[in-house]
Structure 1
Amino acid sequence: MTSVVTAGGISVTIRGAVVDEGETVLDRLVSDGVPGALASRNPHLWGPDAAPGAARRLGWLGLPEAARSLPARLSGPAGSARDAGLDRVVLIASGGAAVAAEAIGAAAGADLTVVDTTDPHEVTGALAGDPHRTLVVVAADGEDGDGYGLEVDALRRVFAGAFRDAGLAGADLARRFVVVAPAGSAAERAAREAGHHLVEAEPDVDGRYGALDARALTAPALAGVDVAALLDQAAALAGTLRQPYDNPALALGAALGSSALAGRDKLVLADHGSGLAGFGAWAEQLVAGALGKDGRGLLPVVVEDVEAPGFDLTPDMRRVILGRRPDEPGPGREAGVSVAGPLGAQFLLWECAVAVAARVLGVDPFGEPDVHESAESIAALLRSEEGTAPTVVRRPPVLVEGAVEVHAREDALKGAATLAGVLEAVVEAAPDGGYLGVLAYLDARADAEAAGLRPLLAARAAKVRRRPVPVTFGWGPRHLHTTGQYHKGGPRNGAFLQVTGAVRTDLPVPGRPYSLGELQLAQAFGDLRVLRSLGRPAVRLHLRDRAEGLAQLADALS
């Protein structure tokens, strides 16, 4: 059986058992008036406890029209930047804004550098561009202190220091920054005092749902992306949201929610000709963060393509293809979902679908009850006497092989005496019906080979366990703001492999008693401490030499 829902430039195709599973859920959503209630921004859709927070987080539904004023709001900073010859745009951000901007820039082929890491090697690479041609967009995401958030504040300070080292000062330095912050926020006040360009962000938009707000769109727009076209695409879909039928967002939301209820709680995403590079990463952060809480949720697993290890049809996995669906003959192979359409419409589609799925699952799509645990753990590690660096206690490794150190409780390794044995123990630690998460606190560009651990581990897991085991991959600290909520608040069935690396050249954070390398290590240790406190099996591998260590890991898994 096949169901195809096409409207607003989007096509959602649902095949096989998913059609039957979702039909009852879809009918219930329609009878409950969910399409109209969502389009009207009814905060009670997710229950009375969620209503107060939801009332302050539904502005994303109006962004296809509200964000159209952004080009006019950018005319001042854009004109000043062009006059000053600033044609290299760097975005400092975290969470959904960073991932959305990266996807937008990649889809448009724009020259945009997104920095949402504290890895000193990767940040050094971002600093390597000509400072006299660089304009930095800062997407504020914090509520405490100066309102920038820990990582964004540190990166802002590092870039300001680099500008000063290049001879920039006073008003010339101040105008190298465009700060995107809500009116009345601490970040807005700090930006005004510093003399930075200021772009007002929408105050009632959750960052996870903010793919079309000023935090995500400002940097791509300044880099030359036609954001009006994105908003046109989203607006075409927005007109369908009230419809009880022929509503792609409602159909996809019912499919997602019913899959989780039926025990297919692993959502495997593969691109197949969508042309939307990076979109899977954005959908991953939305699905994981909005649905993974209260011991429930859908685990998004982004795989390299439809032929990659892990893109299997198993009782606990639901496959979603972004783009054209390949020919898959054979009984049962046709079950799944495929989604096609332009980027702007896809953003709104998934935001609405995930909000609908949250109602089906009975969770608050905007709450982040478990993210704060890692933040508090990191803050504790960074606390120190005034003017001194933070102290992170380093314990001796339980095993060293070549360039790789193994840090774990000995009982977690099941007596393994080699790196290959350690990796096999990690694979076996994933509970039945669970998953393995790889968390790499490395340089996403220079250490890009680390992402290859995902398919290698998935292939090894299938061999060792004699069945597919979902394996996810995330760059740290990005995953703290994206998938971290699911890892800590979703079903307690994850095992984790954290990878850290030696820092050759560190970067001090001006005005702070720590360097980027120390901040990154505190983030890794803080995250690991929380995972272990929740009873999640977790092993840390430290690469004394990054390139050599990654090569060793690949060899051990081959």
Structure 2
Amino acid sequence: MSTLGLSATGSALEAIDRHLPTLLEDRVASRLGAQDAGLWGEAAREESARRLGWIDLFEDSRALVRHIDALSRELRAEGVDRVVLAGMGGSSLAPEVIAATAGVELEVLDSTDPLQVSRALERDLERTVLVVSSKSGSTVETDSQRRVVEAAFREAGIDPRSRLVAVTDPGSPLHAECESAGWRAVFTADPTVGGRFSALTAFGLVPTGLAGVDVAALLDDAEAVRDVLTADDADNPGLQLGAALGGTVPLRDKLVFTDHGSGIDGLPAWAEQLIAESTGKDGTGLLPVVVADGDPETGWDAPDLLQVQLVGEDAPAAPAHGVQVSGSLGAQLLLWEVATAVAGRLLGINPFDQPDVEAAKTAARSLLDAPARERTADRTVDGVELSGPEAVVSAADLAGVLRAAADLVPEDGYLAVHAYLSRHDDAELEEVRADLARLAGRPVTFGWGPRFLHSTGQFHKGGPAVGVFLQVTGDADLDVEVPGRPFSLGRLIAAQAAGDARVLAEHGRPVVTLHLPHRAAGIDAIRTAARAR
């Protein structure tokens, strides 16, 4: 039997006590279980009516399991046991958590960095099946990844049709394309489930099931708590968590996520996308800040910080203001989805739309459609090319640049690092996050581009205008042409970075770009500068 545990302290407990009676009186949990689209107001009704299938998807999802198992057996009989997933946002983040927690290998392509994509093609193509996950198939990252891998199959003498599996919405352009081309398999998902709520649909189950996860057990795990989460009961952890997240006064909108032996690998990264993209709009929202135990933010008690601890059997001492959450993976996937929907109601927003995500995509497309422009920078310091506000880029050295950027962060703000690099080859850059938090004295988020565009990108543009953005781009030793498209991966990721910077600037958000002509040396320089005092 799946179980969920939740305890709250300080402002989080006060928020639960304040809002729980009204949530019960309004029958929010049971109405959610009945897929009542009116829970978020009339303005959100039309969108909500098309996005509530996630609360009751178990029958449809279970029907997929035998087909997934059958395909897995077929592929393994042919010696194909390496699963590569091309997908963005919810199409990749949930599968990554599910596979990692189960301890099975799943290689996720959620980047347009040519180095990261090419690395996935350097080994074991003869053992590889590619799962292409996209609700429409028009996502530029996923389409580009598929084209590159498809060409690699052909070059290796492998018929791509035997190694391509699609997960998409019924009737989508991708659905029509892969059926006419004769792909190995096509799995369709419930179109009434949005991407970030799709963990327990075909988008979460197909790639992980093919990789070897017992997805039937995962569904059992989640379904066992559905009745608890849709009950109008004071002990409902979904209502409690939603109230704690969205109901503090004043709003503690920076959620500092730490894991203390939860047994779930990477859940904060999935929750970050779910919460930030669902709530970050209309000038409000909740921003998860994913940190490690002992990082600066875990010891701060600023009035806009809420500590969120994922715990196991040996939970640490409770924070002064925050929540401790425990439970198995399937149960927590459904819990956080319910809590996000409840928090959206308390915040007065529509948790199912993403009005600012398309802006960066449009800007990137316009740059791709125009002739390629030569990169320009305001100046070069310590081997790093700088662009941004004069007060920042005019600093004497790179340490001064970072201090000046940190000084721009308001007292209720945050610094966001956006790294348009390879999250595998350039992983050391992520270590700078905690150093920058110490420097700024404010929360710092870290996102790999372009995948964060499908996650925190919505909050950065639609949430409170209190963010400062440090963008890191870099040259690669190689580039990869995208077959059938008039651009390479290198040009695509550069356009995505430039497009996002443009949109952030149009929203009045300060953006500082650090471009690394030599990645390894540039990363070392940034890490050294961030530690300078």
What residue in structure 1 maps to residue 296 of structure 2? 309
2:170 to 183, 186, 199: 183
What residue in structure 2 maps to residue 510 of structure 1? 483
What residue in structure 2 maps to residue 450 of structure 1? 429
- Residues 1:164 and 2:150 aligned together: no
**Letter aligned with residue 246 of structure 2:** G
**Letter aligned with residue 121 of structure 1:** L
- Post-superposition shift, 1:378? 0.7
- Post-superposition shift, 1:319? 0.4
What residue in structure 2 maps to residue 49 of structure 1? 43
What residue in structure 1 maps to residue 382 of structure 2? 402
Q: Distance in 1 between matches of 2:58 and 2:8?
A: 26
Q: Distance in 2 between matches of 1:159 and 1:62?
A: 35
Q: Does the 8 A contact of 2:416 with 2:469 survive in 1?
A: yes
Q: Distance in 1 between matches of 2:22 and 2:165?
A: 46
Pairs within 5 Å for 1:535-550: 535-550=508-523
Pairs within 5 Å for 1:365-380: 365-380=351-366
Q: Does the 8 A contact of 2:91 with 2:134 survive in 1?
A: no
- Post-superposition shift, 1:75? 4.3
Pairs within 5 Å for 1:114-153: 114-142=108-136, 147-153=137-143
Structure 1, 488-497 or 241-250: larger mean CA deviation: 241-250
Q: Does the 8 A contact of 1:12 with 1:337 survive in 2?
A: yes
1:527 to 500, 510, 515: 500
**Letter aligned with residue 280 of structure 1:** P
Q: Distance in 2 between matches of 1:65 and 1:273?
A: 32
What residue in structure 2 maps to residue 466 of structure 1? none
1:87 to 81, 91, 99: 81
1:369 partner SS: coil
1:49 partner SS: helix
Q: Does the 8 A contact of 2:167 with 2:203 survive in 1?
A: yes
Pairs within 5 Å for 1:113-512: 113-142=107-136, 147-168=137-158, 172-196=159-183, 197-243=185-231, 244-259=233-248, 261-305=249-293, 307-311=294-298, 312-324=300-312, 326-328=315-317, 333-384=319-370, 390-395=371-376, 397-413=377-393, 415-462=394-441, 469-512=442-485
Q: Distance in 2 between matches of 1:422 and 1:326?
A: 39
Calculate the TM-score normalised by the size of structure 1. Answer: 0.92
Q: Does the 8 A contact of 2:150 with 2:160 survive in 1?
A: yes
Q: Distance in 2 between matches of 1:65 and 1:230?
A: 13
1:23 to 17, 20, 24: 17
1:13 partner SS: strand
1:180 partner SS: strand
- Post-superposition shift, 1:328? 4.0
- Post-superposition shift, 1:256? 0.8
**Letter aligned with residue 166 of structure 2:** V
What residue in structure 2 maps to residue 103 of structure 1? 97
Name segments (4+ residues, structure 1) moved above 6 Å. Answer: none
Q: Does the 8 A contact of 1:319 with 1:337 survive in 2?
A: yes
Q: Distance in 2 between matches of 1:182 and 1:494?
A: 35
CA offsets, 1:177-202, max 9 Å, x none? Answer: 00011211111000101111111122
What residue in structure 2 maps to residue 3 of structure 1? none
- Post-superposition shift, 1:263? 2.5
- Post-superposition shift, 1:366? 0.6
- Post-superposition shift, 1:481? 0.5
- Residues 1:35 and 2:16 aligned together: no
Q: Does the 8 A contact of 2:20 with 2:234 survive in 1?
A: no
- Post-superposition shift, 1:45? 0.4
Q: Distance in 2 between matches of 1:194 and 1:82?
A: 23
Q: Distance in 2 between matches of 1:222 and 1:34?
A: 37
2:79 partner SS: coil
**Letter aligned with residue 339 of structure 1:** V
The Cα RMSD (Å) is 1.5
1:36 partner SS: helix
Q: Distance in 2 between matches of 1:19 and 1:184?
A: 46
Provide the aligned length of Structure 1 versus Structure 2. Answer: 527
**Letter aligned with residue 394 of structure 1:** R
Structure 1, 491-500 or 67-76: larger mean CA deviation: 67-76
1:509 partner SS: coil
CA offsets, 1:354-413, max 9 Å, x none? Answer: 0000000000001111111101101101114xxxxx413522x22323331111132444
- Post-superposition shift, 1:76? 4.7
Q: Does the 8 A contact of 1:8 with 1:238 survive in 2?
A: no
Q: Distance in 1 between matches of 2:253 and 2:467?
A: 13
Q: Distance in 2 between matches of 1:231 and 1:148?
A: 29
- Post-superposition shift, 1:287? 0.8
1:373 partner SS: helix
CA offsets, 1:86-107, max 9 Å, x none? Answer: 1110000011120111111110
CA offsets, 1:152-205, max 9 Å, x none? Answer: 00000000010111012xxx3201000011211111000101111111122111
Structure 2, unaligned runs of 5 or more: none
- Post-superposition shift, 1:128? 1.5
- Post-superposition shift, 1:8? 4.8
Q: Distance in 1 between matches of 2:508 and 2:476?
A: 29
Q: Distance in 1 between matches of 2:297 and 2:9?
A: 20
Q: Distance in 2 between matches of 1:263 and 1:83?
A: 55
Q: Does the 8 A contact of 1:60 with 1:205 survive in 2?
A: yes
Q: Distance in 2 between matches of 1:362 and 1:525?
A: 32
- Post-superposition shift, 1:148? 3.5
CA offsets, 1:184-237, max 9 Å, x none? Answer: 111100010111111112211100111111012211100100111111110111
- Post-superposition shift, 1:510? 0.4
CA offsets, 1:488-508, max 9 Å, x none? Answer: 000011000000011111111
1:318 partner SS: strand
1:110 partner SS: coil
